[in-house]
Amino acid sequence: MDQPQNRIQEQTVIASPVQEDRPAPVTSSVESAAHTVFPQSCGAAAAATAPVANGGAPRSPSWIYAIGKIEARFPSVSVEKEFAQAAGRADTKTQTDRQAFHATLSKPENRYLGRQLCFVMTIEGMETYIVVPRDASDLGLLIDAVRPNPSPLDLDVLIGIKGPVAPPQMCNGLMVPIVVFDQIYSFDREALIKAIPKPEKASAQEFVPAAEELFDRIMQMTDNAGATNEHRALNYLAVRYQAIYAKAAEAFANNASLTAVDVVPSSMNGTRNMVNVIFSYTNRKTDVTEKFFCRVDVTDEFPFMVKKLSPYYDR
């Protein structure tokens, strides 16, 4: 049996978190929303696993590892008007609307506005989560996710715990689950692909399209909201493990097609919850299929690699 502690070092961090100076904690509507979901004194995980009201067994945490786009919205007309006044006091000449929005929001004296905004993650164009920080000092991660020059290739990775559906007054009537996050990574798809080391035998012309196709296949899997163990494992591999992209490039170079990406529970499961992510490549001429898999531990909030990419044999 593979030991998780011996495998953690095999993962490769591709995405990097946005860093910022963290100010002292503040009381805000965003922080209050997080407290409404989970009392901070007990921690989100502790609250999520508390016994149910009828005295039943503790609930398992609803961990989230999602990839989408985060955008800011005004929860009410009064907040929108207050923001407009703050923007009017700033020098935003020649700036686009998005640039002016970001510039206004980024000013230290306007930080109170950031605490009033509603931040929504969309996945494949669907409003999926309302996002709030567990710690108010992480508000800067949300502000940085609202880019001054947005691109269709922008991506945000959300890691946290899912709470209840938001009340209608929280985000101007939008009622989707609240996610209290511990980390957000913001990047774009081009930067992600460039950060992956290119295999020695593959040229850039071969590797980049292969990596992009594999990433898109993972993102387009049905209902991938990053809420199930299967989707959390896939999303983790998509942004953290370079070997799957190298294997895709190698397979395409050998005239094979990516015919399936499957996630199944690992037979090694015991006290830990692990899944096998299986990539199937079928030769276009011989129709022979080769399978490769990696094992990911999804027991806790942060998935990690247990077994690196290896040949897989059906049993």
Per-residue b/e over 103-140, b at no fewer than 16 CB within 10 Å?
Answer: bbbeeeebbebbbbbbbbbebeeebbbbbbbbebbbbb
Using one digit for the tens of pLDDT, what is the confidence trace for 8-20? 344 444 554 444 4
Q: Which residues contact 216 (CB under 8 A, 6 or more apart)?
A: none
pLDDT tens digit string along 229-287? 999 999 999 999 989 998 998 899 899 999 999 999 998 888 899 999 999 999 999 99
Strand 63-73 to strand 118-123: parallel, antiparallel, or no bridges (unpaired)? antiparallel
